[in-house]
Chains A and B, each alone.
Chain A
Amino acid sequence: MARRGSPARLIVALSVAAVLAVFLLYTSIAGGGTPSLRPSQLTGHTGRVSLMGQVVGKPTGDAHGAGLRFQLRDVKGHTTVPVIYKGSVPDLFRTGRDVVVDGHLRNGAFVAVPGTLVTKCPSKYSPKT
C-alpha cells in the first residue's frame, strides 16, 4: 500500500472524536445524573435527588388533592423521612413496599416531583401466611 492512512481509519477516528465531543458536551451541560440516595444520606443535599426506601406507617392524604403523605425508611436501617407526593400512585404502592421517588429536601421533608413515584416489584411472591 502506497499510502498508509486509509480514509476508513480517518472516518473512524473522526467519528469517535465527534461522539466523544457530543458526549462531553452533554454530560457537562446536563450534569452527571441524579444522585440516588437512601433517607439516611439525604442531609446536605438540596438539589434534585432520587430517593429509595421502604414505606413505613400508613400513607395519608390525597395524591390528586393536597398531596399524599408517607414516611420512607432505609431498607436496611432506621432513618426515616416524611414525603409529600402528588400524581399517579402505582398499583403496588403500600406500607412495606420499596419505592423510588424523585424530589428535593425542603425543611426536613422530601417534596416529590409529581408523577415520579415508582414501586419496585416484590422480587419474589411471599407465601401466604
Chain B
Amino acid sequence: MADLGRAALVTAFLLLVYALVAGSLAAWQKRRRLAESAQNALLAAFGATLIASAVLLAALARHDFSFQYVADHTSHELPLGYTLTAFWGGQEGSLLLWLLVLTGYSVAAVLTGRRAGREVLAWVVPTLGLVGTFFAMLLVFVASPFATQAAAADGAGLNPSLQNPYMAIHPPMLYLGYVGLTVPFAFAMGALLARRTDERWIVATRRWTLAAWAFLGVGQLLGAHWAYVEIGWGGFYAWDPVENAALMPWLAATAFLHSVMIQEKRGMLKVWNVLLVVLAFCLSIFGTFLTRSGIIQSIHSFTQSSIGPWFLGFICLITAASLALIFVRLPLLRSKTRLESLVSREATFLYNNLLLVALALTILWGVVYPILSQAVTGEAATVSKPYYNFFLHTFGLPLLLLMGIGPLVAWRRASLRALGRTFLWPLGAAVIAGIALLAAGAGSSRIGVVAYTFSVFVLASIALEFARGTAARKALGGVGWGGAFSSLVARNRRRYGGYVVHASVVLLAIGVTGASAYQTVHEARLKPGQSMSVAGDRLVFRGYETKTESNHRAIRALVDVYRGNDYLGRYKPGKNQYFAEDQVSNEVSIRHDWLTGGDLFLIADQVNANGSIDLKALQKPLVNLLWLAGIVFIGGSLIALWPDAREARRLAERYADGVVRI
C-alpha cells in the first residue's frame, strides 16, 4: 500500500515537472499540441495526487501502524472521525492536502479559464506546474507521508485539543483559502508572460479570488470561535504569528478584490494589481512556511522540521522572479486613464487599498521582528498586543469609515455638493448614535465610541444604497417592493453581495469592540456559598460536582447566576483531567444572552484543595455579533459568487472578437 502511495506521488511529481517544462516550451514557441499535452499532464497530476490521498486515508481508516504517519498521529482508541481528520493533523499530511487542493484547483481553473485567452492559459499551466512541482518535491524527497516502519502495537494518539469538531473543518477551510490564491497568481503571471496585460485575466479569475478569500475569512472565524469556546482564556484572537499568518494574505486579497474593480472599470492600477496578487500569494506561502517551520515562537508550535529552508528558498525564488517579470513588462502596464479627482470612487478604493496593505505590512513587520532584531542586535525581541492594537486602530478605523463613504461616491469625479446631499442621512444617523452612546455611558472607551459611530454610519449608508436601488427599480414599474429588491440584488450580484459583506465586517467590528473595549473582568476566590458580582450579575458558588467518564474525570463548579432578584440559571465551569494523556483541560461555561448579544464567560481558574475556587468571570457585551458576522459574510460571499448568466453573456460579447475595449 505504501508503495502505491509513493509511486502515485512520484508520478504526480514527474507529471508536474512535465507540465512546467513542456508547458513553458509550448508557450514560448507557441506550439499548440505541446501546450495541450502539458495541460493534460496537469490534469493527470490531480488524479495521481488523488490516489496518494486515498492510500493515506485508507491507511488511517485501517489503523495501519506500519505507516509512520498513521502511528504518529492516531491511536486505536481515537474515534474514526478524528482518525480520518488526522490526515491534516501532521506535517506530511498537510503538505499532501496542499498538493491535492492545488492540483484540484488547477484542473478547475484550466478548464474554466479559457476566457483569459489561449496565450495566457498556455503560460498559466507551467506556472501552476511550478508551484505544484515544489510541493510534490517536498512530498517525494523531504517529508513523505508514506514512510514505513515495523508496525507498532498502538499509535501515539492525537493531541486532546485537536480532538474537536473544529479540527475537521477549520484547517481545510484555511487550506482552500491559502491554496486558492495560487490561481489568480498563476493567471497574473500568465498574462504578463503572454504580454496580455488587459483585464481579461482578472475577469477569468474573479470568482477564484473571491472564493479563496471567502474560505480564508471563514477559516479564520472558525479558528477564532474554536479558541473562544474551547481553549478557554476568554478571547478569540491573540495576534499570535500563526493567526497573523492567515490574516495577512486575507488583507492583501481584500485589497486586491477592490483594486481589480478599478482596473476593470477604468483600466488603471495595473502594476498595483499584479503587485498585490504577488503579495497575496507570497504571504500565503509565507503563512504555510510560518506554521510549518517553527522559526518564530508561537503558542501553536507545530512539528518543527527541516522543510523551513526549502520554503524560504521558494518564497525568495517566487518573489524575485515575479518582481523581475513585472519590471520587464512595465511598459505594457501603462494605464490608459488617470485618476481625475481625489474625491471619486476610484480614489476611495485607492485609499482603502493603501490602508489594507499598510495594515498587512505592519503585521508582517511584527511577525518577523524577532528574526530581524536577532539579526541586527543579536538578541531576539518580540512585539506584542499593544503594537498590533495600535496599528489596528490607526488603519482599521479609517478603513471602517471608508466602507461607508466609498459606495456613495460617484465614479471619476464627485461634486462636493452632491456628496453633502448623499451623506446627509448616514451622517445624521451617526451623530445621533454617537450622542446616544455617550449618554448611555459608552464614553469609557473613546475608541469604542469612535468605532460604534463609524459602524452606524456604514450601516446607514449601506441601507441607503439598498433603499435607493430598490426605489429606482420599483419606479421602472411592474413590481412590488419585494420584487424590486430581489431583482436589484439578482442583477447586480457582485455589488450588493459586496454590501452584505461590508455589513458583516461592521458586525465584526461591533462584536470585537464590544468584547475588547467594553469587557468587564472580575476574579475572586470563593468558598461555597460566597458570591461575587460582575457587571450587574451576581454569581454564587455552590460547591463542586465530580463525574468520572471513560477517559477523564470531570470536575465542575456549580455557579448560580442572578440578575437583581431574577435567577438566570446554573452554570458549570470546570476542568477535565484526562487519565491516559495525564493532562488537564479547562472547560469554560458561557451564558449567551440572545437578547443583547452579550456573553457571560465563566472560567474555573483554579480548583483548590480546601473546596474553594478561583473564579474568573468576563462580561463580554455584543460578542455574539462576531459569530453572526460569519454567517452574514458567507451569505454575502455567496451572493457575489453566484453564477450570473446575464453577466456571462455580456462578457462573452465583449471578448468575442478578442479585442478589448476599455
Contacts and interface: CB of A to CB of B under 8 A. Distances in A.
Interface stretch (B153-161, B508-516, B536-544): B153-161
A21 to B, nearest CB: 11
A101 B438 CA distance: 38
B72 A32 contact: no
A125 B156 contact: yes
A8 B344 CA distance: 12
A15 B268 contact: no
B37 interface: no
A36 B374 CA distance: 10
Contact of B297 (A7, A32, A52, A127): A52
Contact of A121 (B72, B161, B391): B161
Given A32-B381, A33-B387, A128-B580, A7 B585 contact: no
Contacts of A52: 297
Given A63-B606, A64-B525, A123-B302, A6 B338 contact: yes
B605 A88 contact: yes
Interface string A95-129: 00000100000000000000000111111111110
A66 interface: no
A35 B373 CA distance: 9
Contacts of B614: 64
A8 B380 contact: no
Nearest to B394: A22
A23 B362 contact: yes
Contact of B390 (A26, A37, A124): A26
A122 B381 CA distance: 23
Given A88-B233, A88-B605, A6 B339 contact: yes
Contacts of A126: 156
A123 B605 contact: no
A7 B383 contact: no
B379 interface: yes
A46 to B, nearest CB: 15
Most A-side CB within 10 Å, residue of B370, B381, B525, B580: B381
Interface residues of B, number: 58
Contact of B303 (A8, A37, A119, A123): A123
Interface string B25-64: 0000000000000000000000000000000000000000
B354 interface: yes
A91 B585 contact: yes
Contacts, number: 113
A89 interface: yes
A8 B339 contact: yes
A96 to B, nearest CB: 11
Contacts of B390: 26, 30
B586 interface: yes
Contact of B381 (A11, A33, A100, A128): A33
A23 B586 CA distance: 39
A121 B159 contact: yes
A11 B342 contact: yes
B358 A36 contact: no
B318 interface: no
A41 B157 contact: no
A41 to B, nearest CB: 7
A3 B383 CA distance: 44
A40 interface: no
B379 A91 contact: no
B382 A37 contact: no
A24 interface: no
Contacts of B341: 7
Interface in B594-616: 603, 605-606, 608, 614, 616
Given A8-B350, A64-B525, A126-B156, A121 B299 contact: yes
B492 interface: no
B548 interface: no
A48 B580 CA distance: 39
Contacts of B157: 125, 128
A50 B382 contact: yes
Nearest to A12: B354
A123 B294 contact: yes
A34 B338 contact: no
Contacts of B233: 88
Contact of A7 (B304, B339, B381, B394): B339
A87 to B, nearest CB: 9
B574 to A, nearest CB: 12
A100 B380 contact: no
Contact of B338 (A1, A32, A63): A1
Contacts of B301: 120-121, 123
Nearest to A123: B301
A123 B585 contact: no
Contacts of A11: 339, 342, 347, 350-351, 354
B583 A91 contact: yes
Interface string B290-306: 00001001111111100
A35 B379 contact: yes
Nearest to B361: A19
B504 to A, nearest CB: 27
A63 B605 CA distance: 10
Given A12-B354, A123-B304, A33 B369 contact: yes
B79 interface: no
A36 B584 contact: no
Interface in A49-93: 50, 52, 62-64, 88-89, 91-92
Given A30-B387, A36-B370, A36-B381, A124 B303 contact: yes
B420 interface: no
Interface centre among A16, A92, A121 (most CB of B within 10 A): A121
B386 interface: yes
Nearest to A120: B301
A26 B603 CA distance: 35
B149 interface: no
A30 B386 contact: yes
Contacts of A62: 606, 608
Nearest to B157: A125
B384 interface: yes
A64 B605 contact: yes
12 contacts: A33-B373, A63-B606, A64-B606, A88-B603, A92-B583, A121-B161, A121-B300, A122-B159, A124-B156, A124-B303, A125-B156, A125-B581
Interface of B: 72, 154, 156-159, 161, 233, 268-269, 294, 297-304, 338-339, 341-342, 347, 350-351, 354, 358, 362, 369-370, 373, 379-384, 386-387, 390-391, 394, 523, 525, 575, 580-581, 583-586, 603, 605-606, 608, 614, 616
7 nearest A-B residue pairs (beta carbon): A33-B381, A33-B383, A8-B339, A64-B614, A127-B156, A36-B380, A15-B354
